[in-house]
């Protein structure tokens, strides 16, 4: 039987509810009319598995972490340990999928944490590459646990793409191919659901998928967090893309050229234009047939990537593909809109030098289905060129060379005069890959690296609000969360499950809020 010591002072009526034997403790509940804890010491409760003595919260298989410009990164490692040991160590061993193994070698064993008690959290240094993670526990200079291996852990390059349908994917049933290279990864979103045929206005219900709930709310709590996957037709690309489109080909090209794994996030929304992204970023409502501006769509997709995923993995750049839908707008307006949401992304991410790569694209050939004429058809391109020249921005591929080059036939690069066909996908992917591989981009862009798992409160407020924590992130099960003195954090109608909790301030539980480990 495990003995767990809790030291706390309670206001009003409080009680602890343990649904299992202490030795199999999974969570506890605070109850009472007004649930408030005044923490006076470290509060830690651990969930132990009957099999194995080390359990990892992170990394998981296929996680890819952004490297710096010197090809180095710190890999955060966190988990739980059953027995008392002197230290936890880890190393990375290269996998054979690398093209040049001579440049990617195993790391030495490195200390993750000394004298862990119940849980551990730390980081090891590693070069770019595709690895298996090995863990061991040392006691009295002897290895007492040496069984845990996580396959496919990557240090490489991380990108998020935004834009309209030619960025998100989806035209006349075209999906794009599976990634060929094993090192091209995403967080799996799955296939886009029907949501009872009413996207996005059908109210979410208990039978709806998480994607349907996300469409209704824009709430990051409805997004997958650790479902890393190889990019494929069936995987989707979180948070908002249901198909690989040409991005799987871009990933294949980059992984081969750079010899490191690639991580992709898909935040694009078909049918949008820069005006919608700008207004959503600034909280300005607008009317649209299938975009719900009241939840900040479509910009909320990018904001959620920057606050949910980027603190975990880091990021190299945002890849932007707009233009076709702005062909009736002035350059001045388009430029203002683009500058607005680019600036807002740097505010929301707290990355003042967040890199953006801006594609040049305004091609649209009428086949009788689009309104004509387009008197301002060159204005999107002029705005894109101007924005791409601004600080921390880079000019991306010139996609106007991809045209309806076969009179609307399926073998055309743009069969409908707008969306890419099979050949168009390959052409677009090659142009994107070439643009990303320009030396000026690698020397000029500064990647944002992954954040520490040791997180402190910045102010009082809701637990699930990123702005209340110094990581600018949504708390997760791999975090050690410290509520600082004088701060009151509200746990409102959710179950929170940090790896570890240090209370110097207060936790206030409302509406069946629950703390579990």
Q: What is the mean pLDDT of the chain?
A: 86
Least confident of 6-15, 121-130, 186-195, 274-283: 6-15
pLDDT band at residue 38, thresholds of 50, 70 and 90?
Answer: very low
Which pLDDT score, from 0 to 100, does residue 376 have?
A: 58
Band (216; pLDDT cuts 50, 70, 90): confident
172: left (phi over 0), alpha (psi -120 to 50) or beta: left
Residue 436 CB-half CA count within 13 A: 26
CB contact at 8 A, 509 and 27 = no
Rounded Cα gap, residues 73 and 158, in angstroms: 13
pLDDT of residue 21: 27
Averaged over 455-480, what is the pLDDT?
96
Residue pair 157/197 in contact (Cβ under 8 Å)? The answer is no
Share of the chain above pLDDT 70, in %: 85
Give the pLDDT score at 366.
59
Q: Which helix (H) or strand (E) holds 276?
A: helix 274-282
Q: Which two tokens stand for residue 256?
A: 């081969």
Domain ranges of the chain: 8-40+453-516, 54-154, 174-444
- Give tens-digit pLDDT for 241-268: 999 999 999 999 999 999 999 999 999 9
Q: Which of 450, 514, 355 is nearest to 73 (CA)?
A: 450
pLDDT of 83: 87
Residue 252's alpha-carbon distances to 249, 305, 430, in angstroms, are 5, 22, 10
Question: Alpha-carbon Rg of the chain, whole angstroms?
Answer: 24
**Spatial distance between the Cα atoms of 132 and 475, rounded to a whole number of angstroms:** 26
Q: Is the pLDDT of residue 409 over 60?
A: yes
**pLDDT surpassing 80 at residue 23:** no
Is residue 136 a contact partner of residue 146, using CB atoms and an 8 Å limit?
Answer: yes
Task: Kindly tell me if the per-residue pLDDT of 340 is higher than 90.
Answer: yes
Percentage, residues of the chain above pLDDT 90: 72
Helix axes 379-388, 331-349, angle to 10 degrees: 40
pLDDT band at 29 (very low <50, low <70, confident <90, very high): very low
β-bridge pairing 393-398 and 356-360: parallel
Instruction: Given CATH 3.40.50.2000, say whether it is the number of domain 174-444.
Output: no
Whether 54-154 shares its CATH topology with 174-444 is answered no
Residue 76 CB partners (closer than 8 Å, separation 6+): 58, 59, 65, 121, 122, 123, 450, 452, 453, 478
Q: Of the candidates 232, 241, 181, 166, which has an alpha carbon nearest to the alpha carbon of residue 421?
A: 166
Q: DSSP letters along 97-138, please?
A: T-S-GGG--PPPPEEEEES-BSEEEEEEEEESEEEEEEEEEE
Distance CA 478, CA 323 (A): 40
Residue 208 has a pLDDT of: 66
| Across 97-101, 409-413, 459-463, least confident range | 97-101
Q: Is 391 helix (H, G, I), strand (E, B) or coil?
A: coil
Q: Class of the 54-154 domain?
A: mainly beta
Q: What letters, b where the CB count within 10 A reaches 16 and e where it falls short, cover 24-61?
A: ebebbbbeeeebbbebeeebbbbbbeeeebbbbbbbbe
Contact 178, 337 (CB under 8 A): no
The Cα 412–Cα 403 span in angstroms is 8
Q: How far apart are CA 506 and CA 366, in angstroms?
A: 62
Instruction: Provide the whole-model pTM.
Output: 0.89
Q: Provide φ and ψ at 119, rounded to 5°.
A: -140, 165
CB 425 within 8 A of CB 174: yes
| pLDDT(18) > 50 | no
């Amino acid at each position: 039987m495990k003995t767990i010591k809790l030291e706390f002072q309670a206001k009003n009526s409080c009680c602890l509810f343990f649904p299992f034997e202490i030795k199999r403790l999974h969570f506890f509940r605070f109850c009472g009319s007004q649930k408030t804890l005044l923490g006076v010491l470290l509060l830690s409760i651990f969930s132990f598995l009957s099999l194995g003595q080390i359990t990892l919260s992170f990394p998981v298989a296929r996680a890819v972490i952004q490297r710096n410009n010197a090809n180095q990164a710190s890999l955060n490692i966190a988990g739980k340990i059953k027995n008392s040991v002197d230290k936890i160590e880890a190393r990375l061993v290269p996998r054979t999928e690398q093209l040049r193994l001579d440049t990617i070698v195993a790391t030495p064993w490195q200390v993750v944490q000394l004298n862990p008690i119940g849980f551990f959290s730390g980081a090891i240094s590693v070069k770019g590459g595709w690895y298996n993670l090995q863990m061991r526990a040392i006691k009295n200079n002897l290895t007492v646990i040496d069984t845990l291996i996580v396959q496919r852990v990557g240090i490489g390059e991380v990108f998020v793409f935004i834009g309209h349908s030619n960025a998100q994917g989806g035209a006349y049933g075209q999906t794009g191919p599976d990634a060929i290279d094993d090192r091209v990864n995403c967080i799996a979103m799955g296939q886009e659901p029907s949501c009872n045929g009413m996207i996005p206005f059908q109210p979410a219900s208990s039978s709806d998928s998480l994607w349907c709930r996300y469409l209704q709310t824009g709430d990051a709590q409805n997004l997958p967090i650790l479902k890393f996957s190889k990019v494929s037709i069936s995987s989707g690309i979180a948070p908002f893309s249901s198909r690989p489109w040409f991005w799987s080909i871009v990933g294949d090209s980059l992984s081969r050229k750079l010899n490191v794994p690639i991580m992709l996030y898909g935040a694009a929304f078909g049918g949008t234009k820069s005006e919608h992204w700008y207004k959503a970023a600034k909280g300005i409502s607008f009317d649209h047939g299938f975009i719900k501006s009241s939840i900040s769509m479509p910009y909320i997709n990018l904001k959620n990537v920057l606050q949910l995923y980027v603190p975990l993995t880091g990021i190299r750049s945002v890849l932007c593909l707009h233009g076709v839908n702005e062909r009736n707008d002035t350059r001045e307006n388009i430029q203002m809109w683009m500058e607005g949401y680019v600036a807002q992304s740097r505010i929301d991410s707290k990355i003042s030098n967040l890199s953006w790569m801006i594609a040049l694209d305004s091609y649209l050939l009428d086949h009788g289905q689009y309104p004509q004429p387009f008197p301002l058809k060159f204005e999107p391109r002029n705005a894109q060129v101007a924005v791409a020249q601004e600080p921390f921005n880079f000019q991306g591929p010139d996609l106007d060379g991809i045209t309806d080059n076969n009179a609307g036939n399926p073998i055309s690069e743009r069969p409908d005069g707008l969306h890419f066909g099979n050949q168009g996908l390959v052409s677009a992917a090659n142009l994107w890959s070439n643009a990303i591989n320009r030396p000026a981009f690698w020397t000029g862009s500064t990647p944002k690296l992954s954040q520490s798992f040791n997180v402190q409160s910045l102010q009082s407020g809701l637990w699930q609000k990123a702005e209340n924590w110094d990581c600018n992130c949504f708390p997760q099960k791999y975090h050690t969360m410290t509520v600082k003195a004088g701060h009151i954090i509200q746990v409102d109608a959710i179950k929170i499950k940090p790896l570890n909790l240090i209370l110097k301030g207060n936790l206030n539980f409302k509406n069946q809020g629950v703390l579990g480990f």
